[in-house]
Every structure is written in C-alpha cells, then in structure tokens.
Amino acid sequence: MQADARSQLLRRRQAEVSKHRELGAVAQTKRLELVLAERYRREAQLAHFIRTSGRAPPLHWLPAKHSDETLQLLQKEQGRLEAWKVRNQWCSDRDCRHRMSHDKPVVRVL
C-alpha cells in the first residue's frame, strides 16, 4: 500500500514538472516573439534611411536633396529590409523551426 502511494506521488510530481517545463517553453517562445517583433519594428524604422557600408557600426543617413544615386541606395535599403524579414521570420510550428534551423548555419553568441 505504501509503495502504491509513493508511485502515485511520483506520477503527480512528474506531471507537475512536465507542466512546469511546458509553461517555461511557452513563456520562452513568447519572449522570443516579443524580441523579434521589436527587431522588426526597429529594422523597419531604419529602412527609411541609407546605411553606410564599410563601417564597423553602420551609420544611417539621408541627404537634404535626393539624387538618382541616393534614391537607388534607398531602394536597396528597402530590399535589404525585406530580405532580412525573410531570413529572420519566426514560425511557432516546431517542424518549421527545425527546417529553418537546418537551412542556415546557427550562430551562437557567447
């Protein structure tokens, strides 16, 4: 009888731990979605400017009057934003994330 009560407590504890892990995973997913939404917003704001090339931190600027060349650079920046959105899209489906993780190399920041 005591072994039956013990196994019942063990099953209950395992169910609690499992539920806690699932809630943690859901919370982490929501945090990542919020971070990505903020990055989308920031990148969309910066896409209205021309980004310098060849500098360590890129500078964003706009001329007082546009020329053909600056308009072309601005269009290029809009294209860069669209490419960035495609590369960094988030999908909550596990199979989709798995496919995306194998499509490109994983970069880890230490």
The whole-chain average pLDDT of the chain stands at 82
In this predicted structure, the answer to whether residue 42 has a pLDDT above a threshold of 70 is: yes
In this predicted structure, the answer to whether residue 108 has a pLDDT above a threshold of 50 is: no
Q: What local confidence, expressed as pLDDT, does residue 72 receive?
A: 93
Q: Name the band, by pLDDT with cuts 50, 70 and 90, for residue 92.
A: low
Distant-in-sequence, close-in-space partners of 52: CB < 8 Å, separation ≥ 6: 58, 59, 60, 61
**Element spanning 51, H or E:** strand 50-51
Over residues 5-18, the mean pLDDT reads 92
In this predicted structure, the answer to whether residue 110 has a pLDDT above a threshold of 80 is: no
In this predicted structure, the answer to whether residue 109 has a pLDDT above a threshold of 50 is: no
SS3 per residue for 80-110: HHHHHHHHCCCCCCHHHHHHHHHHCCCCCCC
